[in-house]
């Protein structure tokens, strides 16, 4: 860490502290960081036994680092922000009153090039921009704030704008949430594809910083109606016991890595019991390697986290950290490198994925460098996603035709080991739809599409064709090619949808 960083830290004013996020600690190795084991895990001594081999120690200079986080209230307290004009700062506050904002000292000091603001990709990734709100929404909220409007009136206006931003795209609330034996929706879980269950632990429904384009932004705005979360390990385990067709568990958020290791352990350690042998893969979705790599280094329970991961791997699970990356700059710091090395030493595979976003990474060279750097560090490039149809999409979205060009031009620049990246892929309601190419068939220009995942597994890998549209940004803006009236999967999908929505 540079002397400049230390100087900035010393000058840093009071900032909010995330209750369940890493706190400064005084010692890190082999001490009180051992969390108590859950009751469930204690009943099963053998597979849950601690691994004997210790994961590599953290280098001395990654000793505990204070986690300092800034929210909308603290914007003016960020020293670098004072370089912006009062108008720019006001615009940020207006946008941050509607969409979540959160950034931390590591991102500010080590990832953003302040000489290149506002174009710096990590600044665009984390700091609100005026264009993120539609002009009419921006004007409405700005007038109320300027006019010192009544709190209730402002909150009502903010809620209305949020609801206009499609907070739960792809029918997540209605179509993906499973039912219990009595037909009631189970909170904090999604079961869209046969073999994979998503679990949203309540302690993991925040992130070390927030992405401006976040497709889960509704999780962070404090509106209970928009939130998916469960604090019940038992509910997760009961559901998995009842669904032996499930092979993959994806723990997601927010970012599960904001949780204390002891919470993560309560959810994951019981999966080592024989009755969970059908759960072969545990995935953890996280952006902590970008936003707070010290989570894996000097955090007070980082060692215990490494032990938990190693324990799962040694018991025979495939454990994958689904690391969210948008730009090669996220992979340039010493802390990021050290955290990757440490996680890989546990046997966990790190897969890199992220969306293609205007103003941040809509450039083939940026993707090629991200994938190349990732492979060098031992990551497996996994997905290039299309920005979802939610939140500030009009600011961040990239037309599908351009997305495919970017993917194609990027993948051509990398070796075979980086060509594991799939995409561009839309996580749409019927399934994950990949744009395989643009071509001409029988005189008609078309998109070639396929399902990577589908609500019906039988749809997967069947090529289908959409009329080429240079402006389309999402599946629902495409129409079938060759004069067809509907997609091959449409009737079946509509029947599934009707059935789910009827519950």
Q: Which of residues 59-78 bind ligand SF4 (CB under 6 A)?
A: none
Our finding on whether 207 is near ligand SF4 (CB under 6 A) is: yes
Rounded distance, CA 189 to CA 168, Å? 14
Give the HSE-up count for residue 328: Cα atoms under 13 Å, Cβ half-sphere.
17
Please report how close the Cβ of residue 163 comes to ligand SF4 at its closest, in angstroms: 19
Contact between 168 and ligand SF4 by CB under 6 A: the answer reads no
Determine if 214 is a binding residue for ligand SF4 (CB under 6 A): yes
* Minimum CB distance to ligand SF4, residue 326 (Å): 9
Q: Cβ closer to ligand SF4: 220 or 404?
A: 220
Q: Which of 167, 169, 254, 374 forms a contact with ligand SF4 (CB under 6 A)?
A: 254
Phi, psi of 318, deg, nearest 5: -85, 120
Q: In this chain, which stretch among 175-183, 247-255, 371-379, 436-444 interacts with ligand SF4, using CB under 6 A?
A: 247-255
CB of 503 to ligand SF4, least distance (A): 27
Please tell me the distance from the alpha carbon of residue 197 to that of residue 242, in angstroms, as a whole number: 12
Structure tokens at 393: 């999409």
Whole-number minimum distance, CB 321 to ligand SF4, in Å? 13
Backbone dihedral angles phi then psi of residue 299, each to the nearest 5 degrees: -60, 150
Q: How far is the CB of 124 from ligand SF4 (least distance, A)?
A: 13
Output the smallest distance, CB 284 to ligand SF4, in A. 12
Q: C-beta of 152: minimal distance to ligand SF4 in Å?
A: 28
Neighbours of 42 (CB within 10 A): 12
Secondary-structure breakdown of the chain: helix, strand, coil percentages, each rounded to the nearest 5: 45, 15, 40
In this structure, which long-range contacts are made by residues 479-487, counting pairs with CB atoms below 8 Å and at least 24 apart in sequence? Answer: 481/441, 481/444, 481/446, 481/447, 482/441, 482/442, 482/444, 482/446
In angstroms, give the least distance from the CB of 208 to ligand SF4.
Answer: 8
Which strands form 349-356's sheet, in the order they lie side by side? 189-193, 196-199, 248-251, 281-286, 318-324, 349-356, 380-386, 422-427, 431-441, 444-454, 464-467
Which segments of 248-301 does DSSP mark as H helices, in order?
261-268, 288-291
Minimum gap (Å) between residue 213 Cβ and ligand SF4: 7
> DSSP labels for 299-347?
STTHHHHHHHHHHHHHTT-EEEEEEE---GGGG-SHHHHHHHHHHHTTT
Report helix, strand or coil for 7.
helix
State the DSSP code for 175.
Answer: I
Q: Is the CB of 69 or the CB of 481 nearer to ligand SF4?
A: 69
| Binding status of residue 287 toward ligand SF4 by CB under 6 A | yes
User: Based on CB atoms, which residue is closest to ligand SF4, 311 or 427?
Assistant: 427
User: Taking CB under 6 A as the rule, does residue 262 contact ligand SF4?
Assistant: no
| Rounded CA separation 448/478 (Å) | 12
Q: Does 216 bind ligand SF4 (CB under 6 A)?
A: yes
**Should residue 96 be labelled a site residue for ligand SF4 when binding is judged by CB under 6 A?**
no
Distance CA 257, CA 226 (A): 21
Of the candidate residues 62, 193, 199, 210, the single one contacting ligand SF4 (CB under 6 A): 210
Q: Of 65 and 326, which CB lies nearer to ligand SF4 in the complex structure?
A: 326
When the beta carbons of 51 and 188 are compared against ligand SF4, the nearer one is: 188
Rounded to the nearest angstrom, the gap between the alpha carbon of residue 313 and the centroid of all alpha carbons in its chain is 23
Binding mask 315-354 for ligand SF4 (x = CB under 6 A): ---------x------------------------------
- Please count the residues of this chain forming the interface with ligand SF4, following the rule CB under 6 A: 10
- Residue 215 makes CB contacts below 8 A (sequence gap 6+) with 169, 355, 387, 388, 390, 391
Q: 313's torsion region: left (phi>0), alpha (psi -120 to 50) or beta?
A: alpha
CB of 452 to ligand SF4, least distance (A): 20
Q: Which residue's CB is nearer to ligand SF4, number 255 or number 266?
A: 255
Tell me the closest approach of the beta carbon of residue 95 to ligand SF4, in angstroms: 15
Q: Give the residue carrying structure tokens 């019906």.
A: 456
Q: How far is the CB of 217 from ligand SF4 (least distance, A)?
A: 7
Pattern 111-140, ligand SF4, x by CB under 6 A = ------------------------------
Q: Is there binding between residue 58 and ligand SF4 (CB under 6 A)?
A: no
With CB under 6 A as the contact rule, which of the stretches 80-88, 252-260, 334-342, 381-389 interacts with ligand SF4? 252-260
- Look up tokens 């959810």; give the residue: 267
Q: What is the Cα gyration radius of the chain?
A: 23
Window of 106-114, 173-181, 207-215, 413-421 that interacts with ligand SF4 by CB under 6 A: 207-215
Q: Which stretch binds ligand SF4 (CB under 6 A): 67-75, 156-164, 179-187, 204-212?
A: 204-212
Q: Rule CB under 6 A: say whether 422 interacts with ligand SF4.
A: no
Q: Which stretch binds ligand SF4 (CB under 6 A): 34-42, 166-174, 209-217, 425-433?
A: 209-217
Residue nearer to ligand SF4 on the CB measure, 51 or 391: 391
Q: Does 255 bind ligand SF4 (CB under 6 A)?
A: yes
Give Cα 472 distance to the centre of its chain.
Answer: 24
Q: Using CA of residue 383, residue 388, residue 391, residue 395, what is the dihedral sign? A: positive
> Which residues of this protein are in contact with ligand SF4, per CB under 6 A?
207, 210-211, 214, 216, 253-255, 287, 324
């Amino acid at each position: 860490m540079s002397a400049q960083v230390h100087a900035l830290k010393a000058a840093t004013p009071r900032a909010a502290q995330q209750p369940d996020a890493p706190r400064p600690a005084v010692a890190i190795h082999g001490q009180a960081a051992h969390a108590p084991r859950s009751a469930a895990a204690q009943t099963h001594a053998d597979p849950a036994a601690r691994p004997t081999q210790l994961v590599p120690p953290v280098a001395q200079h990654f000793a505990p680092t204070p986690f300092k986080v800034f929210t909308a209230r603290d914007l003016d307290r960020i020293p670098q922000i004072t370089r912006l004009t009062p108008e720019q700062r006001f615009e940020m506050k207006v946008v941050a009153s509607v969409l979540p904002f959160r950034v931390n000292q590591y991102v500010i000091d080590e990832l953003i090039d302040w000489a290149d603001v506002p174009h710096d990709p990590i600044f665009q990734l984390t700091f609100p921009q005026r264009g993120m709100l539609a002009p009419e929404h921006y004007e409405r909220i700005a007038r109320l704030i300027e006019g010192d409007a009544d709190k209730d009136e402002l909150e009502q206006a903010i809620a209305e704008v949020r609801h206009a931003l499609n907070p739960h795209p792809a029918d997540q609330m209605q179509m993906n949430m499973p039912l219990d034996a009595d037909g009631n929706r189970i909170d904090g879980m999604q079961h869209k594809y046969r073999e994979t269950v998503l679990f949203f632990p309540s302690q993991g429904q925040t992130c070390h910083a927030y992405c401006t384009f976040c497709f889960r932004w509704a999780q962070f705005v404090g509106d209970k109606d928009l939130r998916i979360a469960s604090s019940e390990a038992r509910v997760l385990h009961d559901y998995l016991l009842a669904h032996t067709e499930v092979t993959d568990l994806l723990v997601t958020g927010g970012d599960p890595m904001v949780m204390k290791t002891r919470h993560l352990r309560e959810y994951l350690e019981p999966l080592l019991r024989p009755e969970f042998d059908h759960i072969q893969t545990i995935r953890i979705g996280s952006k902590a390697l970008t936003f707070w790599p010290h989570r894996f280094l000097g955090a007070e329970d980082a060692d215990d986290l490494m032990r938990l991961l190693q324990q799962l791997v040694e018991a025979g699970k495939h454990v994958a950290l689904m690391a969210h990356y948008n730009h090669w700059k996220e992979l340039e710091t010493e802390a990021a490198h050290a955290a990757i090395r440490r996680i890989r030493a546990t046997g966990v595979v790190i897969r890199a994925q992220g969306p293609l976003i205007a103003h941040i990474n809509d450039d083939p060279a940026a993707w090629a460098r991200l994938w190349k750097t990732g492979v060098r560090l031992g990551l497996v490039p996994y997905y290039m996603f299309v920005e979802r149809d939610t939140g500030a999409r009009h600011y961040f979205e990239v037309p599908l035709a351009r997305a495919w060009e970017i993917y194609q031009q990027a993948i051509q620049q990398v070796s075979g080991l980086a060509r594991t990246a799939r995409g561009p892929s839309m996580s749409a309601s019927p399934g994950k739809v990949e744009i395989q190419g643009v071509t001409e068939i029988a005189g008609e220009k078309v998109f070639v599409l396929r399902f990577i995942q589908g609500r019906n597994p039988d749809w997967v890998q069947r090529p289908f064709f959409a009329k080429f549209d240079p402006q389309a940004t999402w599946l629902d803006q495409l129409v079938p090619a060759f004069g067809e009236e509907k997609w091959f999967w449409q009737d079946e999908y509509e029947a599934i949808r009707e059935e789910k929505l009827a519950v």
